[in-house]
């Protein structure tokens, strides 16, 4: 047997000591971490993560830095498609990339299962259906139809356009471009006949509230879905009169005169999912919650409600006729009447400037396309 070298015997003593020392040291650290408060460095890193998130996302949850570039994963998905081809799920994917809280599924219209929609069951109109369940059910039993129709419902990719009523549409000859969309959404009494060159001739649906509905039955287009966006309980009663072709007795409770007859069969009438009003107001725009009740400046305009609906239900979303061209202050307020821009008044219910901030984010990030360029900041000297 050879004798151990002195260095080797020293190693035999030192190594176990190192191991024991290490175990002792790390168990102490472990105790500190589990029993003690969070260490200062951990607290610091949590704070800086919070600061980081706050610097990346704004108060509503949208990315601060917006540009029209496609995130890499979307480039991979869509970069390959030929120009002009419908990009499946594009608007929702782009929306999620700037607003990670976005959850796409939300039906366009109420159907007989509407009571299951938990997000709107605890809100009164206009943000939900609470207290209106029975009348809504009775209306839906009569309309019997709850989709866009077999042809559109079966499309695997839909391009939608929301036509605002702004004078910015006037004399831009966008009609034929608008008619190329699968779904053309018009709002309230915006006319088509006589304006086809600028606003197109196709109308898939007309979203209205009673005070905004076309009053002269002859001015309705031949066929389109008549979609009620209800802002108050009385609006459902109005739809019941219209559907059952009953004469409307009093009109107290409406803020202006309302249509008494709508030339549509019940099967062409729909009720817009009130979730879009709720989501636009409280999540996207950040209007005052007011305990979930209608209050000063917390109702989104119908145009923004329609855009919100499209983000959930269309693959691509475009708009035209929104905003104002500040370079032409004498443009008409609406494309179909002679009121000038100076007549704009901020109403009690809407907050136009906050709403425009939201729409600007969508345009800047390329979530929606604005054919008339009225939403993004007008840059002077830029054509």
Ligand X SMILES: *[C@@H]1O[C@H](CO)[C@@H](O)[C@H](O)[C@H]1NC(C)=O
* Residue 43: Cβ within 10 Å count: 11
Tell me the CA distances in angstroms from 229 to 232, 276, 361, one per residue in order. 9, 10, 24
Of the pair 138, 347, the CB lying nearest ligand X is at 347
Chain residue at closest Cβ approach to ligand X: 297
Nearer to ligand X among residue 223 and residue 347 (C-beta) = 347
Query: Biggest alpha carbon distance in the chain?
Result: 117
Bridge pairing between strands 269-271 and 225-228:
parallel
Ranges of beta strands (E only) in 47-131 are none
Token duo for residue 107: 């039906």
Nearest to ligand X of 246, 346 (CB atom): 346
Q: How far is the CB of 340 from ligand X (least distance, A)?
A: 14
d(CA 326, CA 347): 20
- Beta-bridged to residue 228, according to DSSP, are 208, 271
Supply the minimum distance, in Å, between the C-beta of residue 228 and ligand X: 26
Distance in angstroms (rounded) separating the CA atoms of residues 378 and 383: 10
Q: What is the closest distance, in whole angstroms, from the C-beta atom of residue 278 to ligand X in the complex?
A: 18
Query: Interface with ligand X by CB under 6 A: which residues?
Result: 80-81, 171, 296-297, 346, 351, 354
CA gap 117, 132 in Å, rounded: 14
Q: How far is the CB of 349 from ligand X (least distance, A)?
A: 8
In the complex, the smallest distance separating the C-beta of residue 156 from ligand X, rounded to whole angstroms, is 13
Q: Which is nearer to ligand X, 111 or 315 (CB)?
A: 315
Nearer to ligand X (CB atom), residue 83 or residue 116: 83
């Amino acid at each position: 047997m050879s004798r151990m070298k002195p260095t080797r015997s020293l190693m035999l003593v030192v190594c176990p000591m190192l191991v024991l020392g290490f175990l002792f040291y790390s168990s102490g650290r472990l105790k500190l971490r589990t029993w003690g408060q969070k260490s200062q460095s951990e607290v610091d890193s949590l704070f800086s993560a919070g600061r980081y998130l706050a610097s990346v996302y704004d108060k509503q949850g949208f990315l601060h830095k917006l540009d029209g570039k496609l995130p890499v994963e979307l480039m991979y998905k869509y970069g390959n498609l030929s120009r002009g081809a419908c990009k499946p799920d594009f608007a929702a994917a782009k929306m999620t990339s700037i607003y990670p809280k976005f959850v796409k599924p939300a039906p366009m219209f109420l159907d007989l299962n509407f009571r299951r929609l938990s997000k709107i069951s605890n809100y009164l109109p206009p943000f939900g259906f609470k207290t209106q369940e029975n009348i809504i059910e009775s209306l839906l039993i009569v309309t019997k139809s709850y989709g866009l129709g077999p042809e559109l419902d079966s499309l695997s990719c839909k391009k939608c356009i929301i036509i605002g009523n702004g004078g910015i549409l006037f004399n831009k000859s966008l009609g034929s471009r608008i008619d190329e969309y699968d779904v053309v959404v018009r709002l309230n009494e915006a006319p088509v006949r006589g304006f086809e060159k600028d606003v197109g001739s196709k109308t898939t649906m007309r979203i209205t509230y009673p005070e905004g509905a076309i009053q002269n039955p002859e001015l309705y287009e031949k066929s389109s879905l008549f979609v009620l966006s209800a802002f108050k309980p009385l609006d459902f009663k109005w739809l019941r009169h219209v559907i059952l072709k009953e004469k409307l007795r009093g009109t107290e409770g409406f803020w202006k005169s309302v249509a008494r007859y709508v030339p549509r069969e019940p099967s062409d009438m729909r009720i817009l999912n009130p979730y879009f009003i709720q989501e636009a107001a409280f999540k996207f725009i950040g209007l005052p919650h007011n305990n979930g009740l209608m209050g000063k400046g917390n109702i989104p305009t119908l145009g923004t409600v329609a855009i919100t609906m499209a983000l959930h239900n269309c693959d691509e979303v475009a708009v035209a006729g929104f905003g104002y061209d500040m370079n032409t202050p004498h443009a008409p307020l609406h494309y179909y009447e002679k009121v000038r821009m100076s007549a704009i008044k901020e109403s009690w219910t809407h907050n136009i400037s906050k709403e425009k901030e939201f729409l600007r984010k969508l345009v800047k990030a390329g979530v929606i396309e604005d054919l008339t360029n009225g939403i993004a900041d007008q840059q002077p000297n830029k054509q």
